Amino acid sequence: MNLFQLLEESTGVPWVLWSALSASALLLLTGTLVRARLAAAQGGVVPDAGFSLRNVVEILVEMLAGLAEKNMGPRWRTYFPIIGTIFFFILISNLLGLVPGFAGATSSADTTWAWATISFVLHQYVGIREHGFGYINHFLGPKFDVRIFGLHLHLPLIVFPFALIEVISHLTRVATLSIRLLANMFADHTIVGVWLLLVPAVVPALFMGLGLLVAFLQAYVFAMLSMVYIGLALEESH
């Protein structure tokens, strides 16, 4: 039994909420520490020597910024804060699941479905904000030009089947984001936990090393797909 489950028994608050609150607190603490370091004398100019929290965060932010600019185009700065929040929350939650006595919120379907829904609502909001009512053209398929009574019209070619396919495709994004993250992190945390019980030394360290890679990759994939979906919503429909 982990710490969050003990808190659930004593308070009645689900363990996943305790885990999510812990991840949020660690995210805020990390941001505060890095900001304080940057605010120090020459902090924004001179990097820390060796391995430090600031250096790690800067590397990750630069990596995300490059991906955001590539996938979301010139407007990437507008939507980068929410992408960064998604990435670091998922990463910290994934890493919490590797710490003995703790549990990552991303091992719960409640968390993965919540973030997948947020990502879905976000890129739909972006499309509506950028294109207004014209965003519906993303769901209507290819168009053809026709003249009726002297009017030049640009009409959808196959509205209903294409609209049905597009709506299903967009809704499927929620399921794929959620299930991919849940399945990978639940399996990873379970394997590490089992090996810790069976062989307390050496062998679990190998799986924890692999778990670090999986934790990063799953946060990366979730954030990258969210950027891709936003980039698609930003594009003009043809």
β-bridge partners, 153: 146
Is the predicted pLDDT of residue 237 greater than 60, yes or no?
A: no
Taking a C-beta distance cutoff of 8 angstroms, is the pair 208, 192 a contact?
yes
Whole-model pTM: value is 0.83
Instruction: Determine the 3-state secondary structure of 151 from DSSP.
Output: strand
- What's the average model confidence in pLDDT over 199-218? 74
CA angle (99, 13, 17) in 5-degree steps: 50
Q: Which of 39, 15, 232, 226 is nearest to 120 (CA)?
A: 226
Give the model's pLDDT for residue 45. Answer: 60
Taking a C-beta distance cutoff of 8 angstroms, is the pair 192, 206 a contact?
no
- Report CA torsion sign: 72, 76, 79, 85: positive
- Main-chain phi, psi angles of 71, to 5 degrees: -95, -25
Taking a C-beta distance cutoff of 8 angstroms, is the pair 158, 85 a contact?
no
Rounded Cα gap, residues 1 and 230, in angstroms:
40
The single-letter DSSP state of residue 48 is P
Domain of 14, in residue numbers: 3-234
Give the model's pLDDT for residue 33. Answer: 84
Q: Which residues contact 115 (CB under 8 A, 6 or more apart)?
A: 86, 89, 90, 177, 178, 181, 222
Query: Tokens 């019980």 map to which residue?
Result: 197
Taking a C-beta distance cutoff of 8 angstroms, is the pair 215, 188 a contact?
yes
Instruction: Determine the 3-state secondary structure of 104 from DSSP.
Output: coil
Q: Compute how many other C-beta atoms are within 10 angstroms of the C-beta atom of residue 2.
A: 19
- 15-64 pLDDT per residue, tens: 999 999 999 999 999 888 888 877 765 655 666 666 678 788 888 999 99
Kindly tell me the number of DSSP H helices and DSSP E strands found in the chain.
Answer: 7, 2
Is the predicted pLDDT of residue 155 greater than 70, yes or no?
A: no
Query: Tokens 């794929």 map to which residue?
Result: 176
- 157-172 pLDDT per residue, tens: 556 666 777 788 888 9
Please count the structural domains in the chain: 1
